[in-house]
Structure 1
Amino acid sequence: MHPGVLPEMAKKHGNVFTLRGGTQPVIILSGFETIKEALIKHSEIFAGRPLTPFFKVITKGKGIVFANGHTWKQQRKFGIVTMQKLGKKVLTHQIQAEAQQLVEIFASANGQPFDPSLPIINSTSNVACALVFGRRYSSSDEEFLKLTEIVNYNTEFGGTFSHLLYETFPWLMKHIPWPYKKSFVCVDDLLSYVKKEIEKHRVEPPMEEPQDFINYYLFQMEKSKNDPTSTYDEENLFQCISDIFSAGTDTTAKTLQWALLLLMTHPDIQEKVHKELDDAFGPSQTIGYQDRKKIPYTFALIHEVMRYKCILLTGNPRLSLQDITILGTFIPKGSMIVPDVHSVFSDPKIWETPKKFNPSHFLDKDGKFVDREELVLFGAGSRVCIGKELAKMELITFFSNLLRAFTFKLPEGVKEVSTEPVLGFTLTPQHYKLCAIPRNSET
């Protein structure tokens, strides 16, 4: 389904309407005010997460993203606190180091055409590895390559015809050898790898404070072992790790791929970014998240990429935990709710030029960055993504260091590239090649 379909349906059926088909009716929330009314003003009522047949098998309702009730509240709180601690101590440095690695990899192409997707995916995956395992991997490491392949397969499988068939006919699909079985194998392979890492962390506990997510979690498991209300166990630890990899690496990598593609098709905007970076920093300085206030146009551009080429087909679904009426429409307890984020991002009442790539959407009249609440890409209310700040840290650090080092151009002879997405669970750029021209070599 194309992302423009649901906003068109809302024009005909109103901002709260129902889609029927599959195992359960789905209620669509269209427009910012509707989403705000439900997910922010009535956040606790829509705090549930529906478990579709496929994700019930894959996640068992564990972790953060797909858990509910007490388990979700406990795992989410732990995840937020732990990521804040690691963000200050470990991740800021790690992200800057990965950004420099990415610059070196791009430079090794010597200005010749190459596909940037794999190096970008490897860099974002290594940030997740630093967060979870406490170390980075070489891009040629076999275990690392297998890990990224597992995560990529499962994120790309979501939204495919095979996935939708499983969600619609789970009783039938269990007897048919469709590609969903490879997805289950990927989950088992990831589980095996994580178990090995957990045992390594148990054998070699940190000398002082924990330095990664697994160490913090094992410490919390030990601390809570006599608490009958504790949900800290290996099943939840595994699913938290799976959530971090699938949500953290794929979305950030694809947003960065979109950003570079859009700069090649908007050279005037690329030129403005170059000027801002040159005015703000010296030639050898590594740029970090802490520098974002010095580069408001560049920071605004990253947010505009997330709006203009939103990688989500829809917002993550919610479950209503009690009966409620939203804008005159009755929504019964147990309903599946899906926020249509594209209806917000294409609204001319909110954005000056919704159909154009325009970083000024996130700037005020004085050129200062404005963090707009209408950018609901990370969700809203009690289920807002806990990796929101980490994603922004990665995006601005990777993007600004790449743009300070290179001018991005289409390969010789290529006049234009498609900016239409490949449809799936996420909206991916079509494969493209670029030329990263070192700026110190330009005349």
Structure 2
Amino acid sequence: SKSLGMMTSCTLVYKNICKPPLPHYSSLALFMPSPLTAQYGNIFSVQFGSLTFVVVNGYQMVREAFVHQAEIFTDRPNIPLLQEIFRGFGLISSNGHIWRQQRKFTLATLKSLAVSFEEKVQEESRYLVETIEEEKGQPFDPHYKINSAVSNIICSITFGNRFDYHDNRFQELLHSLAETNTLSLSLISHQLYNAFPFIMRWLPGPFRKIFKHWEKLECFVKGVIAKHKEDLDQSEARDYIDCYLKEIEKSKGDTGSYFHEENLLCSTLDLFLTGTETTATAIRWALLYMATYPHIQEKVQLEIDTVIGQSRQPTMADKENMPYTSAVLSEVLRMSNVVPLGVPRMSTSDTTLAGFHLPKGTTVMTSLTSIMFDKNVWETPDTFNPEHFLDNGQYRRREAFLPFSAGKRACPGEQLARTELFIFFTALLQKFTFRAPEAAMLTFAFTLSLTRCPKPFQICALPRD
């Protein structure tokens, strides 16, 4: 029977289970897990080709795994396609001492650069406003304008400079980044490669395009690193690459150090990939929601006019006095659910979760969707409602709000992302009112890749009087 087949499949993978075998499901329906959770509970396994993941659902279960058992769930699983790209280096795919060393350095470096970070975002928001003004209220697709602006922040931090939006090389870079993101879940070839890597690496297929675009990104960053090495000033670090090159020099002779150029390359690409796509996608969702709900947009603009006015740029200091805008941005992150499954983690030792025995090496995925739309947590989970984050007009923090995941491998760029979201969003709504094009209907249709992003849409940005 179907039930027996699912149980048998699970038993083959998970032995010595101290409860009945984990419920097993073979479908991408876990991106919309309510039916699965209702049927199987808050923990079940899912088959992707030959790879099996344990999916945990709900705030309490995720907290139990990633906060209470944080030390156990710190590693990344060996997914062949990602291993081929990152080779176990960088911030996303590394494990153990390499990961701890690189993360500690990156957090400290980003913190040291944060003093000028807000100014960079403010400057870039001016460029973004100017390029949108060029549309003169006519319909346009905001995708590449927003991606260019957000990517320029990462470029400023890592490379030390920004690019003009019309720079052909910069746009080619963004195109390769977008293609890598889109192709990464090309399901059939992706699953086949992960199932049979030793065979597939010699065969043609869509996954080859991922390698092709990734090589372009690597080539670009290698050129930037080479230029930094030529004019490096040991007395002053301009950006992330300078800081890393100085760390390489300082750690020479240290056998326990993994500061070398390959790790620099992968860490820089990690920052570029995660720091562009997720934040830019969230901003696109924000504009889509504002154009769809004009009464909410008007309330945000009223708060902007009251607190900031039209004569100066927004700053992070304004955020404390803008609870409604903060609530709207939080609701955007909740409803848009940009990274619905987070990044997979792997147990570093045997453990027990909800009574199920998970052996060392078990790959675990968190369904952030199950948290963001939990009817037991949110009053109106399927409705865009900023009141979820308001209490008597003041911003209300919610424990179950985890857009950046949780635990030791939560997003290291969370604070930077929040700064970008607030300043870009308020700067845009300070200057424009966003509307659907005449006779057009905006929808919340989306595509799934590394992120859950809105399908291409046109929007009008009408200058405010």
- TM-score scaled by length of structure 2: 0.91
| 1:29 to 2:38 alignment | no
CA distance 1:201–1:219, shift in 2 (3 Å):
same
In structure 1, the residue corresponding to 2:246 is in which secondary structure? helix
How many residue pairs get matched? 437
Shift of 1:14: 1.5
| Counterpart residue number, 2:259 | 232
Could you tell me which of 268, 273, 277 is aligned with 1:246? 273
C-alpha displacement at 1:148, in angstroms? 1.1
- Point out the more displaced range, 201-210 or 98-107: 201-210
Is residue 361 of structure 1 aligned with residue 388 of structure 2?
Answer: yes
Matched, 1:321 2:321: no
Q: What's the CA shift for 1:115?
A: 0.8
Equivalent in the alignment of 2:446: 421
State yes or no: 1:397 paired with 2:423: yes
Q: Tell me if 1:146 matches 2:172.
A: yes
Name the residue aligned to 1:287.
Answer: 314
Residue 372 (structure 1) shift: 2.5
Query: 1:207: how far off?
Result: 7.2
Structure 2 counterpart SS, 1:50: coil
Residue by residue over 1:265-302, the C-alpha shift from the partner in whole angstroms, topping out at 9 and shown as x without a partner, is 11110111011101111212111223211211111111
The aligned counterpart of 1:124 is 150
- 2:460 corresponds, among 435, 440, 443, to 435
Shift of 1:176: 2.7
* Cα distance per residue 1:214-253 (max 9 Å; x no partner): 0000111111112111110001100101110111100111
Letter of the 1:435 partner, please give it.
Answer: C
1:4–1:386 CA distance, 2 compared to 1 (3 A) = closer
State the alpha-carbon separation in 1 of the partners of residues 90 and 201 from structure 2.
Answer: 24
Distance 1:234 1:41 in 2: 35
Tell me which residue corresponds to 2:333: 306
- 2:408 equivalent among 382, 391, 397: 382
Letter in 1 for 2:422: I
In structure 2, the partner of 1:6 is 33
* Paired residue type of 2:205: W
Q: What secondary structure sits across from 2:33 in the alignment? A: helix
Of the three residues 199, 203, 206, the one matched with 2:233 is: 206
Which of residues 65, 79, 95 is equivalent to 2:106?
79
Tell me which residue corresponds to 2:137: 111
Rounded to whole Å, the distance in 2 between the matches of 1:185 and 1:362 is 43
2:371 counterpart SS class: helix
Matched, 1:54 2:73: no
- AA partner of residue 120 (structure 2): Q
Q: Secondary structure at the match of 1:97?
A: helix
5+ long unaligned stretches in structure 2: 1-27
**CA distance in structure 2 between the partners assigned to 1:3 and 1:425 by the alignment:** 15
- Cα deviations by residue, 1:132-188 (Å, 9 ceiling, x for unpaired): 100001112222122212211111112122323322332342233212112112222
SS in 2 for 1:377: coil
Q: Structure 2: how far apart are the matches of 1:230 and 1:423? A: 37
Cα distance between partner residues in 1 of 2:328 and 2:153: 22
CA distance in 1, matches of 2:52, 2:127: 47
- The answer to whether the Cα contact below 8 Å between 1:301 and 1:359 also exists between their aligned partners in 2 is yes
Structure 1 runs (4+) greater than 4 angstroms displaced: none
Summarize the alignment of residues 155-304 of structure 1 with structure 2, pairs less than 5 Å apart.
155-161=181-187, 162-206=189-233, 208-304=235-331
SS at match of 2:51: coil
Report deviation, 1:22.
2.2
Distance 1:205 1:21, change over 3 A: closer
SS at match of 1:382: coil
Counterpart amino acid of residue 420 in structure 1: A
Deviation at 1:316, TM superposition (A): 1.1
Q: Which amino acid aligns with 1:256?
A: I
User: Is the CA contact 1:160–1:425 (under 8 Å) kept in the aligned structure 2?
Assistant: no
Q: Match of 1:211, as an amino acid?
A: R
Kept after mapping to 2: 8 A contact 1:71/1:231:
yes
Tell me how far 1:2 sits from its aligned partner. Answer: 4.7
Contact 1:2 1:423 in 2 (8 A): no
1:94 maps to 120
The root-mean-square deviation of aligned C-alpha atoms, in Å, is 1.4
Distance across 2 between alignment mates of 1:368 and 1:208:
46
Match of 2:7 in 1: none
**2:367 equivalent to 1:352:** no
1:3 is displaced (CA, Å) by 5.5
139-148 or 320-329, larger mean C-alpha shift: 139-148
Identify the residue that residue 136 of structure 1 maps to in structure 2.
162
| Structure 1 unaligned spans of 5+ | none
Quickly say closer, same or farther: Cα 1:348–1:66, change in 2 above 3 A.
Answer: same
Q: Quick one: which amino acid aligns to residue 372 of structure 2?
A: F
Q: Give percent identity, aligned residues only.
A: 37
Identify the residue that residue 370 of structure 1 maps to in structure 2. Answer: 396
- Please state how far the C-alpha of 1:323 moved relative to its aligned partner: 0.8
Provide the rounded CA distance (Å) in 1 between the counterparts of 2:349 and 2:35. Answer: 29
Aligned AA for 2:395? F
